[in-house]
């Protein structure tokens, strides 16, 4: 509790409502506290953005979008978001906060540390509700993007809930540099690491890693640091769990392989599909298979096991160990990493595929386990496999892989290959020099430097240092941000004479999307329509509107069809329904006077009796002071 005593927020009250009792966990972007909601007299989890980050309006906006994103998913297996806001504390610092349901219990990480390897029955009991929560998010059009044991909470009564949609698609804008991805390397899908858009199948990949870890007690890949872990996810196949825990049902092996297919097209489409498949697999397993216990000492027998720290104890919503922080890794700081926690959430360079880290020589090769279309798996060379006829999925995979794996020869083959490559490169450069300069006696040629991935200004500077000029064209790109060089012509390494400019193709950012027409839709439907268009919704104002039902969009700032940047917030005005007006007293007035007073109050008069002359109102059907919606019809009696 010393950390809580040193924390200046502990003991204070946020917004005169949330009394901060103690600190539960600290992450890379925020700290989670246990707090008392004084207004409703209940415990809540208070997630507060770090003060230095709260100074950035863009990050605060992202933090608030996280609340809106998670609040759109209402499901028993998803942690409920209750409130969000920002205020200024006594020292003048911005306090951006998110209030969530407090979940007494522990994270799935703690369960794995204490109990894994688990029996298939216990593993499926934990994974099935996790998938149910993810399926609810996927049906709402959301992708979690950071599925890992730290974000799965197990309550004291055994119920399982998914937490922290902070990296979900609706909560994450287009990266400002185009050179980084957020996530946890141990659970990131290959396409996500390569910088491609991540959809529901990336969550399915992480769920497959979760299943592997529940059954074996460890992650499939470990290495000195997160970059090496990511490298292995890109270049190796996830092994089957039974290679570590012999005797596991083959159908569970097949399920892990299906979820972790390198090509997302070969995986289950989303968590709903996976949930259905997992339920069918469970129904087909016998009691003996479900209760298969791993051999005694299996966890310690395998090298490279994930360390087992002391259980941190009870946790709240979005709790995770301090080791699992989101740590930015700028491009200029990319260097061989030191020893880091394998499952730490970090920002990774998009170009991870080119990381010069070598794969672990003891790792399973890419073909360590290859499932057939019916889910049957091949086995690593040290484990015999039952022969099965090739099916569609196996044929697709074999079509994508080379017939002969390069780099599998001995040192002599590698040395000869390197010598030949250097020789051919020298010949190519000499030819380029000769042709580009008009002969060996002409002016010296200049080699185009590598420019792809740099911003336009840096690329121009490098060209100028080489004595070259640039001719820029732009095109939209969904992956790289505005101003980043996509390609060059001639390509890097080509020899040019310097008389012609180097053509740079520069990203103009994602292509704009047309604003949808949200008028007349409920707020929920408006969010859904905006999300389908790749946009967010910001309720700018709520006001009375007689023509629009309460809770529906009365107007929007951007006209339907107007071009907007993907991820932008479309501001709307939501109707609170017709304005309410008090019924005025009209008894004793003439019919004309009463009609005028009622019209001024936004009401419509119906007169029983003579409506002209000196006759006066003797009774009114609605008592004076009654609140009525604008435009209501009222009756008055004139005698």
Pairing of strands 470-475, 502-507: parallel
Query: 605 in helix, strand or coil?
Result: strand
Confidence of residue 471 (pLDDT cuts 50, 70, 90): very high
**How many angstroms separate the CA atoms of 347 and 174, rounded?**
14
Residue with the larger pLDDT of the pair 169 and 211: 211
Confidence check: pLDDT of 581 > 60: yes
Cα 510 from chain centroid (whole Å):
18
Percentage of the chain exceeding pLDDT 90: 29
Query: Are 178 and 479 contacting, i.e. CB atoms less than 8 angstroms apart?
Result: yes
Structure tokens that stand for 141 in this block: 């059009």
- Closest by alpha carbon to 459, among 445, 439, 480, 440? 480
For residues 163-173, b (16+ Cβ closer than 10 Å) or e, as one string? bbbbbbbbbbb
Cis preceding linkage at 580, omega within 30: no
Confidence check: pLDDT of 329 > 60: no
Query: Are 438 and 432 contacting, i.e. CB atoms less than 8 angstroms apart?
Result: no
Confidence check: pLDDT of 193 > 70: yes
Structure tokens that stand for 19 in this block: 């009394």
Residues involved in catalysis: 146
Query: Are 289 and 123 contacting, i.e. CB atoms less than 8 angstroms apart?
Result: no
pLDDT (mean) for 224-247: 87
Highest mean pLDDT out of 54-63, 148-157, 386-395: 148-157
Which of 43-47, 232-236, 422-426, 463-467 is the least confident region?
422-426
Summarize pLDDT for 159-191 with one digit per residue, the tens: 999 987 755 554 344 333 344 556 788 999 998
Query: Which pLDDT does position 389 carry in this prediction?
Result: 33
Summarize pLDDT for 232-241 with one digit per residue, the tens: 888 888 988 9
CATH of the domain spanning 106-400: 1.10.510.10
Query: Which pLDDT does position 442 carry in this prediction?
Result: 34
Confidence check: pLDDT of 294 > 90: no
**How many angstroms separate the CA atoms of 14 and 48, rounded?**
10
CATH of the domain spanning 445-511: 3.30.10.20
- Closest by alpha carbon to 169, among 21, 66, 307? 66
- According to CATH, the topology of domain 2-101 is Phosphorylase Kinase; domain 1 (3.30.200)
**How many angstroms separate the CA atoms of 457 and 291, rounded?**
62
Residue with the larger pLDDT of the pair 161 and 316: 161
pLDDT (mean) for 511-523: 90
Query: Which pLDDT does position 169 carry in this prediction?
Result: 53
pLDDT (mean) for 548-571: 88
Confidence check: pLDDT of 482 > 60: yes
What is the residue-averaged pLDDT of the chain? 75
For domain 513-575, the question of CATH label 3.30.10.20 is answered with yes
Structure tokens that stand for 490 in this block: 């001639």
**How many angstroms separate the CA atoms of 136 and 74, rounded?**
8
CATH of the domain spanning 580-638: 3.30.10.20
Summarize pLDDT for 353-389 with one digit per residue, the tens: 333 333 333 333 333 333 333 333 333 333 333 333 3
pLDDT (mean) for 71-91: 84
Query: Are 163 and 27 contacting, i.e. CB atoms less than 8 angstroms apart?
Result: no
Query: Which pLDDT does position 167 carry in this prediction?
Result: 54
Determine if residue 602 is left, alpha or beta; phi over 0 gives left, psi from -120 to 50 gives alpha, anything else beta: left
């Amino acid at each position: 509790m010393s950390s809580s005593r040193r924390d200046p927020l502990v003991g204070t009250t946020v917004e005169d409502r949330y009394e901060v009792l103690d600190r539960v966990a600290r992450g890379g972007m925020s700290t989670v506290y246990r707090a008392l909601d004084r207004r409703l007299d209940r415990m809540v989890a208070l997630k507060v953005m770090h003060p230095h980050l709260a100074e950035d309006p863009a990050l605060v906006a992202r933090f608030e979008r996280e609340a809106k994103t998670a609040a759109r998913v209402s499901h028993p297996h998803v942690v409920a978001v209750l409130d969000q806001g920002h205020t200024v504390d006594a020292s003048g610092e911005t306090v951006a906060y998110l209030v969530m349901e407090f979940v007494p219990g522990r994270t799935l990480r703690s369960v794995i540390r204490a109990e894994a390897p688990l029996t298939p029955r216990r593993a499926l009991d934990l994974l099935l509700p996790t998938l149910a929560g993810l399926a609810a998010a996927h049906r709402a059009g959301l992708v979690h993007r950071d599925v890992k044991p730290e974000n799965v909470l197990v309550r004291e009564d055994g119920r399982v809930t998914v937490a922290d949609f902070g990296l979900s698609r609706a909560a994450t804008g287009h990266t400002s540099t185009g050179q980084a991805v957020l996530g946890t390397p141990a659970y990131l899908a290959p396409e996500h690491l390569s910088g491609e858009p991540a959809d529901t199948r990336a969550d399915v990949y992480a769920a497959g890693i979760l299943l592997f870890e529940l059954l074996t007690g460890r992650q499939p890949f470990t290495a000195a640091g997160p970059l090496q872990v990511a490298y292995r996810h890109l270049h190796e196949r996830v092994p089957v769990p039974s290679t570590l825990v012999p005797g596991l049902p083959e159908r569970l092996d097949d399920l892990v392989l299906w979820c972790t297919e390198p090509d997302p097209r070969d995986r289950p489409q989303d968590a709903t599909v996976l949930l259905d498949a997992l339920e069918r697999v469970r129904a087909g397993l016998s009691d003996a298979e479900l209760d298969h216990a791993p051999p005694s000492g299996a966890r310690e027998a395998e090298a490279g096991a994930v360390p087992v720290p002391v259980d941190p104890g009870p946790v709240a919503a979005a709790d995770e160990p301090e080791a699992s922080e989101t740590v930015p890794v700028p491009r200029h700081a990319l260097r061989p990493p030191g020893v880091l926690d394998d499952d730490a959430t970090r920002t990774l360079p998009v170009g991870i595929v080119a990381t010069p880290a070598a794969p672990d020589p003891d790792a399973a090769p890419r073909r360590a386990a290859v499932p057939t279309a019916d889910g049957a798996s091949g086995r690593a060379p040290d484990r015999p496999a039952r022969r099965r006829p090739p099916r569609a999925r196996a044929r697709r995979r074999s079509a994508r892989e080379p017939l002969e794996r390069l780099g599998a020869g001995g040192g002599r083959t590698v040395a000869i290959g390197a010598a030949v490559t250097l020789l051919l490169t020298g010949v190519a450069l000499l030819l380029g020099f000769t042709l580009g300069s008009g002969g060996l006696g002409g002016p010296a040629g200049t080699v185009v430097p590598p420019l792809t991935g740099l911003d336009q200004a840096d690329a121009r500077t490098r060209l100028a240092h080489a004595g070259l000029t640039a001719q820029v064209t732009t095109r939209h790109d969904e992956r790289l941000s505005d101003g980043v060089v996509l390609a060059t012509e001639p390509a890097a390494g080509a020899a040019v004479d310097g008389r012609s400019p180097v053509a740079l193709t520069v990203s103009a950012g994602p292509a704009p999307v047309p604003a949808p027409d949200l008028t007349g839709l409920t707020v929920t439907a408006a969010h859904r329509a905006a999300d389908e268009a790749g946009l967010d919704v910001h309720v700018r104002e709520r006001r009375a509107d007689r023509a629009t039902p309460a809770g529906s969009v009365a107007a929007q700032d951007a006209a339907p069809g107007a071009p907007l940047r993907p991820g932008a917030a479309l501001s709307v005005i939501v109707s609170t329904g017709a304005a309410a007006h008090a019924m005025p007293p009209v008894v004793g007035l003439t019919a004309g006077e009463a009609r005028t007073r009622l019209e001024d109050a936004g009401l419509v008069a119906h007169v029983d009796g003579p409506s002209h002359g000196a006759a006066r109102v003797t009774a009114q059907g609605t008592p004076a002071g009654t609140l009525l919606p604008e435009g209501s019809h009222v009756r008055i009696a004139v005698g």
